[in-house]
Chains A and B, each alone.
Chain A
Amino acid sequence: MTPIYLDNNATTQVAEEVLEGMLPYFNDFYGNPSSMHTFGGMVGTQLEKARQSVAGLIGANPDEIVFTACGTESDNTAIWSAINSSPSKKHILTTRVEHPAVKNLCEHLSKNGYRVSYVPVDRKGELDMKFLTDHLSEDTALVSIMWANNETGVIFPIEEIAETLKKRDIVFHTDAVQAVGKIPIDLRKTPVDMLSLSGHKIHAPKGIGALFIRKGTKFSPFLIGGHQEKGRRGGTENTASIVGLGIACDLARDHLKEMNTTVKRLRDHLENELLRQIPNAIVNGKNANRLPNTLSMNFEYIEGESILLMLNEFNICASSGSACTSGSLEPSHVLRAMGVPFTAAHGSIRFSLSTRTTEKEIDFVIEKMPTIIEDLRKLSPFWNPSQHPSSLHLW
């Protein structure tokens, strides 16, 4: 039985067109693009075509795109490049809600001579822009801020931040892994210096990512090796996956409108129905600008892993920022940063849709969720609606 897959912010199904386009590069066109012979060289031509597709999706020039192995590699490359390019600057500014690929590297750097400022978010999940501008200085080597948050889907004002930083000549990197393919991105209009994206979030396979490096940005490579990617990333190209990423970017471009109409309508329907039918629940980032496919909710007096496991019984795939699912014992850093009330902090669940999600699937989830929440609350020593009026309306 195929699952009802509502965990597309974690990863996506490889599109049929992508898989079909990739297959010849495993055993028919297996040449090395760096080779002098035509057999290898023709693979190189296809890589350039893919580079154009990636650039086309985000409004970049093809030679500003470097292929990497994943979003994490893109993030690491961008951050190391920025600090290595300005060795005298010892300050980094980022946010409290970054993906571990940025967060943990910044924490590592803070133990190794760097000062790191973390921009807080408010209850809506939006950035404290005053904190951001107040903490910029001559010593700032890099600002790294995600375009959209993976857990809540809240979109940050990257255009505005990029303009501010451009005026002050501070290098700006954005982790756009969740934003690419879901909202329009045009780097001709948004002056970010570096941008990370990942293939497997947009129906390409795992193991392929890309980093946009604006022409003129000082750059030092992360993987030092051969002359591949014009010396910006050593290592023989993952040819089949690069071809796949190119196709996926073309598809994403075609689906962008659908994502912001059909998918958004389905997400809104799910959100409205769950809020209507289930008491003591909140939508994280409800009043913020959000990705059209993401719904992050918290339910009072129950725990997220239990919800997930119940959903799993109905073959519904979702995820949770709750402690018990992450292997840690505290709720996700994103929900904590937003100050979600402690009565609901452990009961989080994230549904993330794709253009493949159907109305029937959403209706099935709407049918099952209220009973699941009710059943778990019956088990909870804290659930007594008459004695526990929700504190959430104050929040």
Chain B
Amino acid sequence: MSRIAETFTRLQAAGEKALIPFITAGDPNPGLTVSLMHGLVEGGADVIELGIPFSDPMADGPVIQRASERALLHKVGLRNVLGMVREFRRSNQQTPVVLMGYLNPVHVLGYEVFAQEAAAAGVDGVLTVDCPPEEAAELSAALIAAKLDPVFLIAPTTPLARVKQIAALARGYVYYVSLKGVTGAGNLDIDDVARKIAALREFLDVPIGVGFGIRDAETARAISTAADAVVVGSRLVQEIEAATPETAKEQLTRLVASLKDAIR
């Protein structure tokens, strides 16, 4: 069983929901990322989504765009990101790490090379935002061959036929995009999300995580009543942005703990 599946099985047995925090690798500087990842786990993270910095993050709002820009000032490339995961794994073998980003940095490395190196580094899943199922065959095959879970998005606009198509390909969990918009947007409709998730359950065997626009403990709690996992990204990145490198870990841990408490 994959580390992601084990985690969800354990949480389900305990009647708990998963908290999936997102940070961008290399933000605010590459030296801090591994320590921040440990901080997320100390706060109660069940899975970590680690962003691969990209120059043109089309699906992200301004907060995560800025995180990418800060990381790219330090020239953080995909191999550096894999190095951070490897270092994290030295003292943490339990917490699944899912890389999240855009296809081009993966494309340039080559799908098979990437999948093998990512698996060797201790990565558990990969979500490439701009690679829908239609274009994902080659990458998914490489990931599955390396025992990595391809994670896919489902959007409020996804028709039923596509949900079934995605359900057939998804491993680990699916990421339900809770609103029509970019990451960190402010137009989340909780009742609508709950209805959609209930409808999705019929077709999906894997757990459902929900993200985009979850900004506080109250929203996280409301979402967690319907979802298996709550993904929080922009809000955490804002915390990193507001902190100094010295205080970032402590502030992040505290924020994650408050979110985890809210969904427990």
The reply to whether chain A is a binding partner of chain B is no
Q: Which residues of A contact B (CB under 8 A)?
A: none
Residues on B lying within 8 angstroms of A by beta carbon are: none
